[in-house]
Chains A and B, each alone.
Chain A
Amino acid sequence: MVALQLDSLLVALMIAALLLLLTAVLPWILSVASSKSRVVKEELVEVVKCLKCDYESVRKYEKGDYVGKVVGSCPNDKGSLVVKAIYVERYTQTK
């Protein structure tokens, strides 16, 4: 086995270079390690509401619908069902 002979100055320089390298990549390591939630699925949904009773439900958005549009009748009392809101539902996953 060959013994590697290094003097203390060279060792110090190598340690300094290593520390410099670590300082340079530290922000990147931290950003990768930090837990961030990312959006895995997006879905456009609409809230429909009965004008007579408290019936309200969330369903998939249908093309051409807008807030205030009458889209059918209430399953409870046959009152008019209107679109109350349209929004994007985002499903996220934490890394």
Chain B
Amino acid sequence: MDGSNEIASYLIVLLFLASFLMNFTDIPQRIQMQRFSSFVRKRLYALEELEADTRRKAIAYMSSVGIKEPSKVLEGFIDNFFLIRPVDIEPTDIIKRLKHLIRVREGSVRDYVRTVLSEADRSIQYSVESVLEVVSALRLLNKLIRHYLELGLKYNNWILVMQLAMQIPEVVEVAKAYAGSIDAFSSGIPIGDSVGPLVAKMLVGWGEPTRELSEGTDLYEVEIDKRKVYVIKASGPGSNVGWPGEALERLVREYDGEIERIITVDAALKLESEESGEVAYGAGAAIGDPGPEKIAMERVASEHSIPLDAVVVKMSEAEALSPLSKKIYEGALRAYDTVLKIIREKVREGGTVVVIGVGNTVGVR
């Protein structure tokens, strides 16, 4: 037997051995688990760095608006103010209970910020609340990732670790968007989610609100092509989403249902095949809240048989949280044209229409 044949024989034996190990043992899964856990761990360190950076920015911002001991305020907020969702096995009045719990939580957060920032303007208080929420969300995200990674390693659950590795790039993108939003909230720059309030502001010709309909939610009155237009949006320019459902309910009841049409404008999550800034319209309430505000819109519209239109500007989750991009701004301009078209074509002259600019009004007065 010459030398080359000997090498070939060794290789064949090695191939059979490798094939046996790969097919009849857990070794490949264990190797994969190590690879995937190291992949997740690297991203987790990046996420923790992102959280630390966001904390530093939050502390600097709170300090700049006059909060004494900002790190204590931050620590007192993170891990607290959670919300336990109401019992859904018995769905009777679940919306009422959910609305109550959301209001209680929001009230507690507001009181917490007010105690450390009583002298400041309301829009600054709203922005501080958002900054605290962002850091808290990042903390929760990191804790969840670490939880699933450690759980997977503890029980040798390679499927869990692998799933985590598959999903973590997406989580990192969302976390980066959250981290980026802190600059927008602290500097008062509009984010992607501000398209609704931006369109509302364009409709009212940058005028001032007539009055406050519900807490942190303003009403504007304008006339467009001989149609009376009521515009509802959150009070800006601080980070605030207001209570658009409750405000609409109050307005429609005030006018005893004498409204011809309700148009909601909001940001909507795009599919990967769609372009950012695409505008689409349809029927229903365009609002992404946990339930109470959306159902309030649907209920009041159906109670008075008022057609409910939705105009949406498509964007990714990261774009919704990041400072407004040119593409989304151009989408807002197209959404404004679409709203005008609906008003002109579907509301008769002398008629009344309500337009609601849904979303976070940061950077939009």
- Hey, which bits of chain A sit against chain B, CB under 8 A? 5-7, 9-10, 13, 44, 47, 49, 51, 61, 63-64, 66-69, 82, 84-90
How many whole Å from A87's CB to the nearest CB in chain B?
4
Q: Which residues of A contact B8 (CB under 8 A)?
A: 7, 9-10, 13
Question: Is B325 an interface residue when CB atoms closer than 8 A count as contact?
Answer: yes
Q: List, sorted by A's number, 7 A–B pairs whose CB atoms are closer than 8 Å.
A: A61-B189, A67-B364, A68-B236, A68-B237, A86-B363, A87-B190, A87-B323
Of all chain A residues, the one with the shortest Cβ separation from B11 is: A13
Question: Is B365 an interface residue when CB atoms closer than 8 A count as contact?
Answer: yes
Of all chain A residues, the one with the shortest Cβ separation from B237 is: A66
Question: Is B2 an interface residue when CB atoms closer than 8 A count as contact?
Answer: yes
Q: Are B5 and A67 in contact (CB under 8 A)?
A: no
A-B contact count (CB 8 A): 78
Q: Are B365 and A87 in contact (CB under 8 A)?
A: no
Question: Is B347 an interface residue when CB atoms closer than 8 A count as contact?
Answer: no
Given the known inter-chain contacts A6-B4, A51-B205, A67-B201, please indicate yes or no for A88 contacting B323, CB distance below 8 A: yes
Question: Is B206 an interface residue when CB atoms closer than 8 A count as contact?
Answer: yes
How many whole Å from B218's CB to the nearest CB in chain A?
11
Bound together, the chains give a CA A47 to CA B206 distance in angstroms of 13
CB-contact partner of A66 in B11, B205, B365, under 8 A: B365
Extra contacts besides A67-B198, A87-B328, A87-B329 (17): CB < 8 Å: A7-B2, A7-B5, A9-B8, A13-B11, A44-B189, A47-B329, A49-B206, A51-B205, A67-B206, A67-B236, A67-B363, A67-B364, A68-B201, A86-B324, A87-B323, A87-B326, A90-B326
Q: Are B4 and A10 in contact (CB under 8 A)?
A: yes
Question: Is B202 an interface residue when CB atoms closer than 8 A count as contact?
Answer: yes
Question: Is B175 an interface residue when CB atoms closer than 8 A count as contact?
Answer: no
Question: Is B188 an interface residue when CB atoms closer than 8 A count as contact?
Answer: yes
Bound together, the chains give a CA A13 to CA B332 distance in angstroms of 61
Of all chain A residues, the one with the shortest Cβ separation from B190 is: A86
Q: Which residues of B contact A82 (CB under 8 A)?
A: 206
How many whole Å from B65's CB to the nearest CB in chain A?
13
How many whole Å from B242's CB to the nearest CB in chain A?
16
Bound together, the chains give a CA A69 to CA B236 distance in angstroms of 11
Bound together, the chains give a CA A3 to CA B7 distance in angstroms of 18
Bound together, the chains give a CA A53 to CA B187 distance in angstroms of 30
Q: Which residues of A contact B7 (CB under 8 A)?
A: 10
Greatest chain A CB density within 10 A among B198, B201, B206, B236 is at: B206
- Chain B residues 212-262 with CB under 8 Å of chain A are 236-237
Of all chain B residues, the one with the shortest Cβ separation from A67 is: B364
- Chain B residues 312-365 with CB under 8 Å of chain A are 322-326, 328-329, 332, 363-365
Q: Are B202 and A84 in contact (CB under 8 A)?
A: yes
Q: Are B325 and A90 in contact (CB under 8 A)?
A: yes
* Interface 0/1 of B161-204, CB less than 8 Å to A: 00000000000000000000000000111100000001001100
Given the known inter-chain contacts A10-B4, A44-B189, A85-B190, please indicate yes or no for A66 contacting B323, CB distance below 8 A: no
Q: Which residues of B contact A89 (CB under 8 A)?
A: 326
Q: Which residues of A contact B202 (CB under 8 A)?
A: 84
Given the known inter-chain contacts A6-B4, A51-B206, A85-B332, please indicate yes or no for A68 contacting B365, CB distance below 8 A: yes
Q: Are B365 and A69 in contact (CB under 8 A)?
A: yes
CB-contact partner of B364 in A13, A47, A63, A66, under 8 A: A66
Q: Which residues of B contact A90 (CB under 8 A)?
A: 325-326
Q: Are B324 and A85 in contact (CB under 8 A)?
A: yes
Bound together, the chains give a CA A13 to CA B202 distance in angstroms of 70
Of all chain A residues, the one with the shortest Cβ separation from B208 is: A68
Q: Which residues of B contact A13 (CB under 8 A)?
A: 8, 11-12
Bound together, the chains give a CA A39 to CA B189 distance in angstroms of 20
How many whole Å from B187's CB to the nearest CB in chain A?
7
Q: Are B4 and A87 in contact (CB under 8 A)?
A: no
Greatest chain A CB density within 10 A among B189, B202, B205, B332 is at: B189
How many whole Å from A61's CB to the nearest CB in chain B?
8
CB-contact partner of A87 in B2, B11, B206, B325, under 8 A: B325
Bound together, the chains give a CA A33 to CA B205 distance in angstroms of 49
Q: Nearest 7 A-B pairs (CB), nearest first?
A: A68-B365, A66-B237, A67-B364, A87-B324, A87-B329, A9-B8, A82-B206
Bound together, the chains give a CA A47 to CA B202 distance in angstroms of 12
